[in-house]
Structure 1
Amino acid sequence: MIRIVSLGRTCKNYLRLHGKGQPNLYIHCPHCHRIMNKHGCYKRTVATKHQAIQVPIYRWYCTECRKTLTVLPDFLIPWARFATTVRESAIVRRLQGLSLSQIIQGVASFAVGISAATVKRWWKRHLCQVNRVSLYMAGKLVERGTTQDLFHLYPRGVNPALADTAHWLRSLVQVYASYFSHGMYPLRGYWCWLNTQLPHTDLL
C-alpha cells in the first residue's frame, strides 16, 4: 500500500526534516482503521533538476492486518526516478509546443541527463491518463458546486485528440486549485499537490 503525503517543500527540505528520523504521522490502516506502527525505511534515489539525491522512504505496519504501508513524499510517485516537478515541467513544455531538445535542456541539467526517449515515455504516459484524471477532477468540481462551464474550457470540440484533452486537463487543474488549495497555490507546479489527492491509479 502507498500513500503520498506532503513532507517538505523540496527534496532537500524533506531531507533536512526527515533524513534522520521517521515523521511523526498517525497513519490509520486503510483496511481495519487501526493506528499503524512505524516500520523502518529503505533508500531511494530521486533525480531533481540539478542532481540525484538518495532519500529515505518510510513505512508503517498494521499488526492486525499484517500489511505494510509506504509513505512517499509528494515529489515522488511509485517507480519514477525523476522528481514529479521535473516530469511536470517537461509535460508543460511539451504542451507549449517546444521541441524535445528544448525540453531536455530546460527541465534538467546535463549532469542529471534526460534522454529524448524518457520525455517521449512521459508524454505517452500522460496521454494515457488525461481522460481519467480530467473526468475525475471535473466530477469533484461539480460536486463542489462550480457554476463554471468546464467543457467550455476544452480547446476543440470536434474530433478532439488526446493532446486536446491534455490541454483541457491543464485548464481544469487551475480551476481545481482555486477551489481546493485554500488559496495556497503551489510554487512548484501543481502535480505534487494533486498527487496527494488523486486516486493512486491516476497519479500524475
Structure 2
Amino acid sequence: MIIAYLGRNVKEYRRNCLKFLERLELICPKCGGKTTFHDRYARHVHMGEEIEWINIFRVICSKCGKTHAIIPDFIRPYKHYSACDSELVLRDQEDGIPLEEIETAASISTLRRWVEEFRQRGRQAAGALRAILYRYYGKFVNELEMIETKVFHMIERLLGLLPQIESSHLAIGETNMWLTNHLAGVFV
C-alpha cells in the first residue's frame, strides 16, 4: 500500500483526489519500479457518526507486477474509522482519560483494540521515524530524551525534525506516509 496526501477529508478527496494523484510520482514500495493506474474499489470510512464511501485507487508496478492501493492519509490502513477519530481517542487515552469517558462513535471493544495496537506500534513507529531521520537526513535523536515521553509527543517531535510534507496534519497520517514511503509494510 501507498499512503499519500489526497485531500484533508472525504469531501476534498472526492473533489480533488485525481488532481492530487496526477502530481504524485508513485513508485512501487516493494521494488522501486514505476507504477501505472490499474483499478479502483469502493471503501467505507466512519467519520464520526457518518459512514462515507470513497473510491480507493490502485496502481500496478511495471517491474514486479505487484499492485498497491493508494490510501489517503486521513484513513488508517485496514481500519474503518478515520485517522482523525482514532487519533483523538488515542490522545485522550494517553492523557489519562478512561475509555468509557471518551466521546466517540466507536465501541469500547474497538477503542481497546486501538489502544492495544497503538501500544505495540506507536513506539515502533517512533523508532522507524528515528531511523529515517538518521539514514536520510543524518540527524540523531537522543534515546534518553524519548524514554519518558508520551508516544504522540515523541512522534510529533520526530515529525518536526523531518522535512515538511503535504498532509492532513494528523500525526498518524503523516507518520504513515513517512513509514510506507521509506519502510514498506510499517505503519501505525
TM-aligned CA deviation for residue 186 of structure 1: 6.5
Q: Which of the pair has more CA radius of gyration?
A: 1
1:130 and 2:122 correspond? yes
CA contact (8 A) 1:137 1:172 kept: no
Match of 1:191 among 159, 172, 176: 172
1:171 and 2:153 correspond? yes
Q: Deviations over 1:49-76 (max 9, x none)?
A: 2411000000112355332121111112
Query: Residue in 2 aligned with 1:96?
Result: 95
Query: Residue in 1 aligned with 2:162?
Result: 180
- Helix, strand or coil at the partner of 2:13: helix
When residues 136 and 35 of structure 1 are mapped into structure 2, their CA distance, relative to the original with a 3 A threshold, is closer
Amino acid at match of 2:86: R
Amino acid at match of 1:9: R
Query: Residue in 2 aligned with 1:35?
Result: 34
TM-aligned CA deviation for residue 185 of structure 1: 9.4
Equivalent residues in 2 for 1:36-185 (5 A)?
A: 36-103=35-102, 105=103, 108=104, 113-143=105-135, 144-146=137-139, 149-155=142-148, 167=150, 169-182=151-164
TM-aligned CA deviation for residue 85 of structure 1: 1.3
TM-aligned CA deviation for residue 127 of structure 1: 1.0
Give TM-score, length-normalised by structure 1: 0.76
CA contact (8 A) 1:150 1:172 kept: no
Give TM-score, length-normalised by structure 2: 0.81
CA contact (8 A) 2:36 2:60 kept: yes
When residues 201 and 26 of structure 1 are mapped into structure 2, their CA distance, relative to the original with a 3 A threshold, is closer
Amino acid at match of 2:27: H
1:203 and 2:187 correspond? yes
- Helix, strand or coil at the partner of 1:196: helix
- Alignment identity in percent? 21
TM-aligned CA deviation for residue 114 of structure 1: 1.1
- 1:8 and 1:190 mapped to 2: Cα distance? 15
Deviates more, 1:131-140 or 1:55-64: 131-140
Query: Residue in 2 aligned with 1:161?
Result: none
Q: Deviations over 1:114-158 (max 9, x none)?
A: 111110010011111134223223334455455664413422xxx
Higher relative contact order (CA 8 A, sep 6+): 2
- 1:55 and 1:40 mapped to 2: Cα distance? 14
Amino acid at match of 2:67: T
TM-aligned CA deviation for residue 172 of structure 1: 2.0
- 2:27 and 2:186 mapped to 1: Cα distance? 22
- 1:187 and 1:4 mapped to 2: Cα distance? 12
CA contact (8 A) 1:138 1:172 kept: no
- 1:181 and 1:36 mapped to 2: Cα distance? 25
TM-aligned CA deviation for residue 37 of structure 1: 2.2
- Helix, strand or coil at the partner of 1:27: coil
Aligned length: 183
Flag structure 2 segments of 5+ consecutive residues without an equivalent: none
